[in-house]
A = this chain, B = another copy of it.
Amino acid sequence: MAKKQKNSKALSEKEGVDQPTRLNPLASERLKKNKTPSTEVIIEGLLSGNKTHLSRALTRIESTAEKHQKQGRQIIEACLPHANKSIRIGVTGVPGVGKSTFIESFGKLLTSKKNKVAVLTVDPSSSLSKGSILGDKTRMEELVKDPNAFIRPSASGDSLGGVAQKTREAIILCEAAGYNNIIIETVGVGQSETAVHSMTDFFLLLKLAGAGDELQGIKRGIMEMADAIVINKADGENIKAAKLAKTEFNRALHLYPPKESGWKPKTLMCSAIKNKGIDKVWQLIEDYLEATKKNDYFQHKRTEQNKFWLLQTIENTLKRDFYNNPKVKGELEKQLALIEANKTSPFEAAANLLSLKG
């Protein structure tokens, strides 16, 4: 195993830019010869903590090309023995609540404590408008320059299931690359929170004071998942309203049934932009970890998540194998044309295609 890469800051994060690196000599040699490094080289580089190789590996698992997907699976397999050694924190909140600013401030605190921080996002954006509004590196100016932080925008995909699967795999890769704090950011729209909740140890809901939607029914499912509610922008003239909101949220949280974890969700205030109260958030997470490791809930939750991800992995693989079948590829075009001509129903067309499976 190559020893930990120290100067990863010096490397370009961009895929395809090959500079000589401090990998072990053999890998370095291979890198010079091939413009596209081999899967083996990527794995070696990733495990040594090299950001360029980590980025490359993530590009492989996000690719829709069969060749890259196969490489992606090899990389995941190689990373599995090195994964699981991190704390996974989910962060959610509606647009405007200050998620990026919070993550920047929180991430800087963590790296200052000698942690390595990876920021991933789950953003199955509007199928109409396309494009991710989260994980934009330009919104985390300082963190992106930090050699001990790694920020990756959301994988794209045409379904939440696909995006979530890729994020789940990205966690494995980041952990294998030595990141011991994984932050997963998502936007407050219901289903994506459930996905992020299913892959994190601690779930943090960011809120604003006086935003009017605090106790709406629609937010209940998300409030129910939260291990902490953090009221952001608690500064200047906002402090009074933030304190009021804190009391209200606390009251609301008491109405929920006790959590399986035994943990009582807490409410905190912070000002991410002024870097205030961020250390208290980290302290709270440390308290949570201590409590849930003591009562074994931490491992229990990960086990349940693993069961869930077993099923998700199976389902995504079934789809991929089916659509990659050459017979299916040809017939799919034909059946779509028949639907186009209004000469078949989706149910009949599906039956025809499924008969090719055997």
Contacts and interface: CB of A to CB of B under 8 A. Distances in A.
Given A306-B339, A318-B318, A313 B217 contact: no
Contacts of A20: none
Given A313-B350, A315-B319, A319-B315, A194 B127 contact: yes
A129 interface: yes
A346 B309 CA distance: 6
Nearest to A225: B128
A283 interface: no
A336 B314 CA distance: 13
Most B CB contacts (10 A, CB to CB) among A221, A310, A318 go to: A310
Contacts of A128: 221, 224-225
A189 B187 contact: no
Contacts of A244: none
Interface residues of A, number: 63
Interface in A192-213: 192, 194, 211-213
A171 to B, nearest CB: 12
Interface in A317-358: 317-319, 321-322, 335-336, 339-340, 342, 345-350, 353-354, 357
A95 interface: yes
B350 A310 contact: yes
A77 interface: yes
A153 interface: no
B322 A310 contact: no
Contacts of A225: 128
Contacts of A172: 347
A280 to B, nearest CB: 27
A321 to B, nearest CB: 8
A188 interface: yes
B80 A299 contact: no
Secondary structure of the A contact surface, majority rule: helix
Interface in A70-105: 76-77, 80, 83, 94-96
Interface in A121-141: 124-129, 133
Contacts of A80: 345, 347-348
A76 B342 CA distance: 18
A122 to B, nearest CB: 12
Contacts of A216: 94-96
Contacts of A83: 345
A258 interface: no
A307 interface: yes
Contacts of A221: 125-126, 128-129, 189
5 contacts: A77-B347, A80-B347, A188-B218, A303-B340, A315-B315
